[in-house]
A and B are shown apart, each in its own frame.
Chain A
Amino acid sequence: MKRHSILYYPGNIFLITSFLGFFYIFLPIIQIYLLPPQIQSQQDLPTKGIFITISKIHAQSPVIPNVDPNNQVVYDQALSRGVAQAKGTALPGEKGTVYLFAHSSGPPWDITHFNTIFLRLGELQNGDLIILRRNGKNYTYIVEDKKVVDPWQVTYLTNSKKPQLIVQTCTPIGTSLYRLLVFAKPK
């Protein structure tokens, strides 16, 4: 029988654990690409409340209105339930900028459907459609630009007069280094 060093076994344990770890942390992401969640038609959505639908990236979620963007505890709770609408910005159908933000990634043990709703947000291109539905009425926006900005570039959040939709998430995936902003104008 072949002889092995005692290091052989912890080495195997490390390898197996790492493979399981990869499987554990990438499974939700692989699922999103291979088995994307089904998008409901706008008519099937509840008539009460606000919902966002981005068909291209299979993202559909309720929007939690009036979430304080200055309080991480508050918006972390909101982001576990859907996409947050920054307090002080416009709601769909109102004049001004609608500012929405949601997670692109989260802790491996806490990646849920809503936590990674904007995982594929960077795939959006100019001309793609984003539909906001508020109390049964649809508001369609067309993507016209996207930018990667530093976290302290808050001008996009504070200047809220322009009639547009800004959707924010973090980039690169798995970090909170920068913010990816997608700009869309009303159709």
Chain B
Amino acid sequence: MNNNTKKITILTSCLLMVFGFFVSPGVTSADGITVTGNGSNSNNTVNVTSTQQTTTQQSNNAQVTNNTNTTATTGKNTSSNNTGNSTSVETGNVNTSTAVSTTANISTVSQSTTTSQELNSTINGNGANSNNSINTSSSSTTDVSINQNASVANTISQSADTGSNSVNNNNGNVSIQTGNISASISVSNSPINVSNVSVAANNSTSNEKIAGNGAGSINNITNANNNQTSIAINNSISLINNLKTVYLTGANSAYYNNGNVSVLTGGITNVINLGNGPINVSAVSVNCTPAQQQSKPTIPAWPTPPPTSGTSSSSPASSSSSSSGGGGGSSSGSSSGGSGSSVGISTSMLPVTGNNWFFIAFIGNILMMLMGGYLRLRSGRSPGFAYTI
């Protein structure tokens, strides 16, 4: 090695050291499948199969019977054979209320994202006339089945009586005043047979890259995703509301009166609130994020020296889960969802936020420095065209 070669080697080493200074620090990169470094005329195949199945079954049965009987009486007073002075009957007010509330069969199925993965498939650096392929397939099946049956019977009887008073054989003044009746009934059948299903579908991303393989090589990457979501909800309800009310402030009697008779009956206020629903309501939400695929066109490249040839494969992976729950109404409905898309913008390449001019200028300066150094070294040993001062 002569002096020039040594110096050039030193300069080149310095260049590499300076260049190494600018190499970015290592950061996280996605995992993937790589077929690389296989020899010429070799056949290399990677097969990956992933299967996932999730089954959820819920069956809810409820039978509810509400029987209420309310009786309030301040009347039915009797006063007989009254003579002389006045006779007065005054009954008190009645306030009565009945409230019945029924809630049955509430089902919630919430399934988070089943799969969130990023798969990078790369075929590069394989020898000439090699046959390289990566075949990946994934299937995700989600089945949700909900059966809800409810039987609700409300029998409510409410009676109030401030009248039905009798005054017999009076010779003097008679005064009857009955009290007011204020009654309320509140029946609420809600919620019954309500289901809320939220299922997140497969969320996977795949990136394929084929580059730098030898001439005549055949390179193939296939990726198949199959996501199926099936949701079946059956609701049935038998609902009977039987309300019976009797309110009485009158039906007062006075017999054989010789004096003044005064009968004043009270008022009746009755409020009935009957609320049915929500009954048989199902909310189904299927959030789908489709697998996105981006592939860079195959770049013709020079053959890479092949180390060895070989075949590799990976075994399939599968998982399954199921759950069931009990609860208790009727209508039927079913829905099923498949894949959808949620894409904000579409583009084929991330924005270019760097510039190669910096690197080119850097290399240009290195070359210029090496050239200058070479000329300086060479000028010292070659007489060439010289002059004397």
The residue in B353, B357, B378, B379 that gathers the most chain A C-beta atoms within 10 A of its C-beta is: B353
Task: Report whether B365 and A25 are in contact in the complex, using a CB–CB cutoff of 8 Å.
Answer: yes
User: Which A residues are CB-close (under 8 A) to B388?
Assistant: 1, 3
Q: CA–CA, A111 to B371, complex, Å?
A: 27
Cβ contacts B344-377/A at 8 Å (1 or 0 each): 1111111111111111011011101101111111
Asked if A163 is at the interface of the complex by the 8 Å CB criterion, the answer is no
Task: Report whether A107 and B379 are in contact in the complex, using a CB–CB cutoff of 8 Å.
Answer: no
User: Which A residues are CB-close (under 8 A) to B81?
Assistant: none
Task: Report whether B384 and A7 are in contact in the complex, using a CB–CB cutoff of 8 Å.
Answer: yes
Which of A30-38, A131-139, A164-172 lies at the interface? A164-172
Q: Which chain A residues (150-187) contact chain B, with CB distance < 8 Å?
A: 150-161, 168-177, 179-180
A11 with B373: in contact, given A21-B364, A106-B357, A174-B358 (CB under 8 Å)? yes
Question: Least Cβ distance of B298 to chain A in Å?
Answer: 13
Task: Report whether B384 and A5 are in contact in the complex, using a CB–CB cutoff of 8 Å.
Answer: yes
Interface size class of A (residues with CB under 8 A): 35 or more
Which of B25-33, B53-61, B157-165 lies at the interface? B25-33
Cβ contacts B150-192/A at 8 Å (1 or 0 each): 0000000000000000000000000000000000000000000
User: Which A residues are CB-close (under 8 A) to B389?
Assistant: 1
Q: Is the interface of A mostly helix, strand, loop or mixed?
A: mixed
Of B346, B356, B376, which is within 8 A of A12 by CB? B376
A172 with B24: in contact, given A6-B386, A69-B345 (CB under 8 Å)? yes
Q: Which residues of B contact A (CB under 8 A)?
A: 22-25, 27-30, 118, 205, 207, 209, 289, 292, 294-296, 342-359, 361-362, 364-366, 368-369, 371-380, 382-389
20 residue pairs A–B, Cβ–Cβ below 8 Å: A3-B383, A11-B372, A11-B376, A17-B368, A22-B369, A70-B347, A101-B353, A122-B25, A152-B207, A153-B294, A154-B350, A155-B207, A155-B294, A172-B23, A172-B24, A173-B22, A174-B22, A174-B355, A174-B356, A174-B358
